[in-house]
Amino acid sequence: MEKDMTKGNPMRLILGFAIPLLLGLVFQQFYSMVDAVIVGHYLGVDALAAVGATGSVNFLIIGFCMGICNGFAIPIAQEFGAKHEGELKKFVANSVWLSVIFAVVITIVVSLLCRPILQLMRTPGNIIDGSYNYIIIIFLGIPVVFLYNMTAAILRSLGDSKTPVVFLVMAAVMNIFLDVFCIVVLPMGVAGAAVATVVSQAVAGLACLIYMRKKFAILKLSKEESRWSWNYGSKLCNMGIPMGLQYSITAIGSVILQSAVNGIDSNAVAAVTAGSKVSMLLVCPFDAMGSTMATYGGQNVGAGDLDRVDKGLKDCCLLGLLYSLIALGAVYLFGKQLLLLFLDAGEVEIIGNASQFLRINALFYFPLALVNIVRFLIQGMGFSKLAVFAGAFEMLARSLAGFLLVPHWGFAAVCFASPLAWIFADAFLIPAFFHVRKKMAAILSRE
């Protein structure tokens, strides 16, 4: 069902939109965690490290794809807020054309470069074959990444954050059974975890596509509306490519940092992998808040109401602060128990390092909340190119950690790399929002 976020209590709207998103993200992380749990316990620490060693390059490519899809959805949300149905339909059609083109090109390029990238990242020799077997399948599944993320982004831009979650939950359950079947029954090794992920996401994407074609009359396009347009395509690229680059630029720093971790040993890789899996689950609310503010900002800017944008930002930041404190307490009380999902109790050194990594990151969760909330709001307001610089600041911080700090301070420096990146990004994003707010006010005053 469509949801108009230009009317009503902002806090209530944000919560109502973010909670379904959060459930989807939690399940998404849940089946990612299931991959790691099954790999770690059935295939061992080296296999867990093999999957973990691909994390940053996975984020580099898949994050770019997801960013493009989210960027394509911003003009759709703005036209929905402005009640311009004809324009909305043309943006939807052209986003589909562009998604197909990007999916084919990116799949071919990254599949060919996959092993050289792993070698360049100094992936340890005892895990590089497992890393390749896992990530090549993930990359061959890029078309289904576009299928799910584009259809889900269109639904969210129309105010429906619940339906993509329902199908994602269905995919998560399917992924668990496929993990067990592919890894334990067949057995396919780490490749089985990748196959399970791709197949599950394909099912979720197809379900979203069928649902939105049947249930949303506003998405039923005429032949004329379905045609490719260079004008609409260029506008979508101006939103989507910067948003994708923002993810990728951020991930470049992660790749450099991952290379530094790989240079320590496979035990360090396993510790970061386990700690990151727990942390990624805990920070899902921040991702949900960010996606919510992109839609909220897009619709309200489309409606020309900047006061509602301000109120929404304040309410969402308050939610981010409250949750940051809750997550910090959870890490210090239950962090070790959560790590035991991935690691055997006998791996004392790895568990100790993973606990250190998790606790230090948790101390800086509120700066991470601000990164997501402010960055996505800026993008939703139509300034995707500006938000790219936040990714550049994150890349700079992680690169400094990887090149300068890790060689001197080892694993301790790895623990502070992400917090440093979040602080660098906030130092740019907070002033950037006030600049965007002032510029948008001037634009609206002339209309």
Reported pTM: 0.72
Considering its fold, how many domains does the chain have in total?
1
Query: Amino acid letter at 358?
Result: L
Closest CA to 37 of 348, 339, 357, 350: 339
Residue 3 included in any domain: no
Closest CA to 178 of 157, 193, 156: 193
Q: Is the dihedral of CA 303, 309, 312, 313 positive or negative?
A: positive
Is 237 inside a domain boundary?
yes
What is the b/e burial string over 418-437, where b = at least 16 CB atoms within 10 angstroms of the residue's CB?
Answer: bbbbbbbbbebbeebbeebb
> In terms of Cα–Cα distance, which of 137, 136, 141, 145 is closest to 116?
136
- Domain region containing 256: 10-446
Query: Would 102 be classed as within a structural domain?
Result: yes
Residue 93 lies in a domain: yes
Distance CA 317, CA 14 (A): 11
In a domain, residue 159? The reply is yes
Does residue 325 lie in a domain region?
yes
Q: Looking at the domain assignment, is residue 4 inside a domain?
A: no
Q: Rounded CA gap, 237 and 230, in Å? A: 10
Give the list of residues 6+ apart from residue 88 with CB closer than 8 angstroms, or none.
Answer: 76, 79, 80, 218
Residue 1 lies in a domain: no
Q: What is the pLDDT along the chain (447 residues), one digit of tens a residue?
A: 556 777 888 888 888 888 887 877 777 677 667 777 788 778 887 887 888 788 778 888 888 898 899 889 888 888 887 788 888 889 989 999 999 999 999 999 999 998 998 998 888 888 899 999 999 999 999 999 999 999 998 998 888 878 888 888 888 889 888 988 998 888 888 899 899 989 999 999 999 999 988 888 778 888 888 888 899 999 899 888 887 887 777 677 777 777 888 777 778 878 888 888 888 889 989 988 998 998 888 888 888 888 899 999 999 999 999 999 999 999 999 988 888 877 777 778 888 889 999 999 999 999 999 999 999 899 888 887 777 788 788 888 888 888 888 888 888 888 898 899 899 999 999 999 999 999 988 888 776
